[in-house]
Structure formats: C-alpha cells, structure tokens
Amino acid sequence: MALLIRRQKSKAILFISVLFLVVVVYAVIQNQYQLRNALSYATRPLWDTKDGPTQVIPHFYGEGMKMDAETCKLHGWTERKGKDNLKVLDAVLMSNELDLMEIRMNELDSVVDFFLIIESNATFTGLPKDTFFLNNRGRFAKFEKKIVYQLRPGFPLQPGQSAWDVERGTRIAMSDLIQSQIATFPTNSRNLVIMSDLDELPSHHTIELLKTCDFGETLHLQLPMSGISVLRAGAQAFICGATVAFTAIPSIPSTPSQTLVGIVVTASGPLLSMPSR
C-alpha cells in the first residue's frame, strides 16, 4: 500500500513538472522578443561600447541672435561657403504621431526645403496599423510642396526575424529615398540632411545655425528629453530628464554633381548642447 502511494505521488510530481515545463516553454516562445530585449538591456554594460561623440560643443543662442561668421566662430566653426545653394532635407519615420508631425513641420518650415517621410501599414513587430499620415495628409496641405512621402508595405515577422531587422530595413529605405531626392536637385546643389525620430525636434534657429556654419561631415544634436503628463483637470504638467541615446547613421554617398555637406542626427538627452562628430 505504501509503495502504491509513493508511485502515485511520483506520477503526480512528474505530471506537475512536465506541465510546468510546457507552460514555461510556451511563455518563452510567445514572449521571446520581449525576453531578448530584457536580456540585452540587462547585460548591456558587459558588451556595449561607447561609440557616441566625445567632444561637446555648447550651443550659444539668444533671441534675435544673427547667424553669421561671428556666431560660427563662437562655436569654433567657420562660415559655410556656397550656403546659398544649400538644400535641407528633414528625414523621419512616421508611426502615428500626427500632432508631433504638425508641430515639427511648423517649427522647421522656414529652414527646411523638403520633409521626407516613410510610413508603413504595419509596426516593426509586424502588427497591422493605420497609415495615419496618408489618411490625414490634407491636414498638412500647407506643406504639400515640401512633402516627399513613401509608403513601405509591412509584413508579419518571419522565423528568426526581429523588429530590429525591420527597423534597419526601413532606415535603409530612407537612405535610398534621400539619395533619390538629392538626385533631382540642380548640379550645383549642396545638401544638409537631418535624420531623427519625430519626437526629436531641433529648433529652427539651430538648423539655421548649421546652414550658416561649416560644422564638418556629421553632427549629433543632444536634445533635452521632456515628458509631459496632465494627471487631472487643473493639474500641473511635469518635465523629466532622460539619458542620451545616439542613432546610427546610414551611409549616404554624395554624387559627383550633388554634394552632401553634412548629416545632422538628433538624440535625446538631458543637456542643451551639440556633441560633435
């Protein structure tokens, strides 16, 4: 009798163990993307290397400040030659941020020649979504002559494929779109490209400074990270800081007839400064 009871207990323990293992394996399979991200970020100090800019250039500005040779000198630069032939392209990936897009276009309209936008009908994780910009393009009618739009069809993730792979492909598509747009400019054009996420918004006077001054080939703009939350009616908003994150720059070669004078990459950060290349 005692032997029978022990065998029944062993079978029960084995059944519970197998069931627990099945549940764990299923949970891992269903949440493998989130788990890989968590593991990656948790171990990042062990494998990541500092590849961002190391020289920080203070950004001097006051209302009414002229963007001229003296202002360039103040930042350690010289005035840009051929700036009258300079074209400025603002390149962003669109998800659902209609309000941010409207704010961005109004802020940069006076200093940007073309707004390059890539949108998809799926998220980077392969989930279907609306094409918010395409469906609301009339909202941006006043900027229509400056808009260069491309719809990139989305697709479910394939086995072994991650959201990072889709994002990388989308950013490569943006590089191709930039090159195709530059190819339409006059042969004596010089081009300045702003590459950032939609919520990484430089001030128009900062872009005016970079149009005026020769800062080199690449510049990272370190922007203040702000979060605003209205908890209840009448509640005050709060603003908080965040850490710096630098964005990879795709390769965008110049052609013999058009010159790419620089790429400006924005990044979130707690300081109002401009790290150099």
Give pLDDT, residue 165.
85
Whose structure tokens read 């790419």? 260
Give pLDDT, residue 140.
92
Tens-place pLDDT, residues 115-131:
999 999 888 888 888 88
- Beta-bridge partners for 58: 273
Give pLDDT, residue 142.
93
Tens-place pLDDT, residues 239-253:
222 222 223 334 444
* Region 228-233 average pLDDT: 44
pLDDT higher than 80, residue 196: yes
Nearest of 82, 80, 85 to residue 213 by alpha carbon: 80
Distances in whole angstroms, Cα of residue 54 to Cα of each of 49, 207, 218, 235: 13, 21, 13, 40
Give me Rg for the CA atoms of the chain: 25
Q: Give the pLDDT band of residue 262 (cuts 50, 70, 90).
A: low
CA distance 2 to 144: 84
Hey, how many other C-beta atoms are within 10 angstroms of the C-beta on 69?
Answer: 14
CA distance 79 to 180: 28
Q: Give the pLDDT band of residue 141 (cuts 50, 70, 90).
A: very high
Nearest of 191, 240, 226 to residue 100 by alpha carbon: 226
| Greater pLDDT, 39 or 228 | 39
Q: Which two tokens stand for residue 194?
A: 């702003």
Residue ranges of domains in the chain = 2-47, 57-275
Q: What is the pTM of this model?
A: 0.68
